[in-house]
Amino acid sequence: MTGFLRWLRSHPPAALSLLFLVTLFVLAIMAPVIAPYSPTKQDVNNTLAEASWQHWLGTDDLGRDVFSRLMYGAPITLYASFLAVIVGCVLGIPVGLLAGYLGGRIDDAISRALDALLSFPAIVLAIGVTGALGVGLTNGMIAVGIVFSPQLARLMRAQTLVVKQELYVDAVRCFGASLPRIILKHVMPNAIQPVIVQVTLLLAVALLSEASLSFLGLGVQPPQPSWGAMLARAYNYMEIAPEQMYAPGLAILFTSLAFNTLGEALRVALDPTRKRR
Amino acid sequence: MIRRRVVQIIPVIVLATFVVFGLLQLVPGDIAVTLAGDNATDARIAQIRQSYGLDRPFLVQYGTWLWNAMHLDLSRSYLSNEPVFDQIMHRFPVTLLIVGSALALSLIIGVPFGILAATRPGSFLDTAVTSVASLGVALPNFWLAMILVATFALSWNWFPATGAVALSRSPSQALLHATLPAIALAASGVATVVQQLRSALIEILSSQYVRTLHAKGLSPAAILWQHGLKNVSVTLLTVVGLLVNRLLGATVVVEAVFAIPGMGSLIVHAAVHKDFPVVQGVVLSMVVIVILLNLLIDILYTVLDPRVALK
């Protein structure tokens, strides 16, 4: 723990990103307690208002407080990002482990399947799935997660190929350890580091995907607030109130920037060959 | 090697088409009932089920669909009854122009800055370029599109805010309409090119043989142009493959911002109105484009790096 704190102190961008994300999580959880207004409370006499002491970031086209909606949108946005990444991990990690460890024809077959899935642009497949399952955030993000899974599987496979050559893996095999035990207790923990980095980076991609899907009206459905959906409303009033688009857009930008910065810092920290640079 | 790669993509294409066709199986309930709309008679539902072949077994449906797709018959739209293939061909040029310009912009801007940053690692210029690149990756492209519209189209009237013009009708108008969407798409593309090129080039320039080249007295410029860039061209090819995949996804959202009648708006409209043949057609054509492009890139690898062919 002290080592981690020392690492943070010598990496200001990573520390700042972590601080931002922790603050965002706290705000997301505490939104019902600390948000100044209800996210759905309309005030038709005060629509598209500019920032003021009553409404820090103004009000939207229905007179709802933008700052409160931004806070209530945070948990929905984060839920969507984590859902996609968790789906990607649950599908991708075991497949990558098996392909890498077993090798041979199974590996060939799995690799072809991964190639096929990797060829789908994530958003396009997600739109296809929401079109079939019906619009909704959960459906769309599960589809995004399915598109993530081959990336994680490939990474896991490549690492497993390296780790399974290690002498200690031979040793536990000679001791008669079962296949699941070898893979789960000895191969995976030593091959998972690059996957952790990739997961952090994918959170940013998932966040942008959620924003895109909700912007297109295929994700979050009104009146639920999400940053992408807020941008979709702002789009309709772009000519008369262009300032409506700044707060949600910046929220998306800063959050995805924080995930990316943290991921890159982790990559450098975990990669022994890059340490000296 | 090339023949092996061509043979290898056949199962990839088959698997991808299986996924595309499988989308239909995700539809909850009976598709024929959904299609017939409210208050449909049983006879009408049965008629729809038969005309779309929904009463046959899944694999037979898939086989027929695949066979027709190979003959460029992607069935008809549920909404307009137009052949899906015609709709796609009608809209494809618009998307191609935007995605193509975005790809060109990404390379034209990204490559020089990637090289500049890699040759001066740790310098002020490097820090500035990599910081801007991190912003570009994190930026939601449709938000950038909205900012561009608000600024350059609505406030300053430099560019049209919406729509597209066919390149064949008026090249200048077509490019004028495509400029803002292409810039919005290219932001993340430039950033990706810079990041990937920079890290690949730094790795090459710090390798053993480059040290040897320095030792034998070759000038840094000669090392960069004769040895560095030759080796980094493989990375650049990989990035192009990655970018086309991402741009095809991103264009869907950016087209929505500019109300461009391209592939993106086609699939979004179809997804909202449950027009499954159109959804499948667009997903299929995009995935086939990506797969064929990756095949082309794999073949180019062997040209650039003969060692690949030996493996």
The domain ranges of chain A are 15-31+53-271
For A232, nearest residue in chain B (alpha carbons): B257
Q: Which residues of A touch B153 (CB under 8 A)?
A: none
Q: Considering only the beta carbons, identify the residue of A118, A124, A130 that sits closest to B286.
A: A124
Q: Which two tokens stand for residue B172?
A: 């200048």
pLDDT at A118 over 70: yes
Q: Which CATH superfamily is domain A15-31+53-271 in?
A: MetI-like (1.10.3720.10)
pLDDT at A277 over 60: no
What pLDDT score does B107 carry?
Answer: 94
pLDDT at A274 over 70: no
CB contact under 8 A, B27 and A218: no
How far off is chain A from B207, nearest CA to CA, in Å?
12
- Are the C-beta atoms of residues A167 and A191 closer than 8 Å to each other? no
Q: Which residues of B touch A231 (CB under 8 A)?
A: 140, 142-143, 146
pLDDT tens per residue, range A185-198:
888 888 888 888 88
- Are the C-beta atoms of residues B139 and B188 closer than 8 Å to each other? yes
Instruction: Name all contacts of A196-201 with Cβ < 8 Å and 24+ positions apart.
Output: A196/A266, A196/A270, A197/A263, A197/A266, A197/A267, A197/A270, A198/A151, A198/A152, A198/A155, A198/A263, A199/A85, A199/A88, A199/A89, A199/A152, A200/A259, A200/A262, A200/A263, A200/A266, A201/A259, A201/A260, A201/A263, A201/A264
CB contact under 8 A, B154 and A242: yes
Q: Which residues of A touch B8 (CB under 8 A)?
A: 112
pLDDT per residue, tens digit, chain B (311 aa), is 677 778 888 888 888 898 888 888 777 777 777 777 667 777 777 877 777 777 777 888 888 888 888 888 777 787 787 888 888 888 888 899 999 999 999 999 999 999 999 888 888 999 999 889 989 888 999 899 889 888 887 777 777 777 777 777 777 777 777 888 999 999 999 999 999 999 888 888 888 888 888 888 888 888 888 888 888 888 888 899 889 999 998 999 999 888 888 898 899 988 888 888 899 999 999 999 999 998 898 888 888 777 766 65
For chain A, give the percent of residues with pLDDT over 90.
Answer: 17
Q: Is A243 exposed, middle or buried (0-12, 13-18, 19+ CB in 10 A)?
A: middle
CB contact under 8 A, B139 and A253: yes
Interface contacts A/B by beta carbons within 8 Å: 151
Whole-number Å distance between alpha carbons of B261 and A102? 48
- Residues A59-70: what's their mean pLDDT? 76
What pLDDT score does B172 carry?
Answer: 77
Whole-number Å distance between alpha carbons of B246 and B248? 5
Name which of A36-40, A48-52, B56-60, B115-119 the model is least confident about.
A48-52
- Are the C-beta atoms of residues A27 and A34 closer than 8 Å to each other? yes
The answer for residues whose C-beta is within 8 angstroms of residue A141's C-beta and 6 or more apart is A80, A81, A83, A84, A87, A126, A206, A209, A210, A213, A219
For B246, nearest residue in chain A (alpha carbons): A121
What pLDDT score does A275 carry?
Answer: 47
Between B227 and A110, whose confidence is greater?
A: A110
Q: Which residues of B touch A257 (CB under 8 A)?
A: 134-135, 138
ipTM: 0.86
pLDDT tens per residue, range A125-169:
889 888 888 888 888 898 889 888 999 999 999 888 888 888 888
- Are the C-beta atoms of residues B184 and B257 closer than 8 Å to each other? yes
Q: Considering only the beta carbons, identify the residue of A129, A212, A257 that sits closest to B142.
A: A212
Note the Cα B217 to chain centre separation in Å.
44
Whole-number Å distance between alpha carbons of A202 and B52? 39
CB contact under 8 A, A128 and B149: no
Residue A87 confidence class, pLDDT cut points 50, 70, 90: very high
- Chain A interface test: which of B20, B23, B24, B146 (most A C-beta within 10 Å): B146
What pLDDT score does B311 carry?
Answer: 54
Angle at which helices B263-272 and A122-133 cross, to 10°: 20
A12 at interface of B, judged by CB pairs closer than 8 A: no
What pLDDT score does A276 carry?
Answer: 44
Q: How far apart are the first and last CA of chain B?
A: 8
What pLDDT score does A165 carry?
Answer: 82
> Would you say how long chain A is, in residues?
277
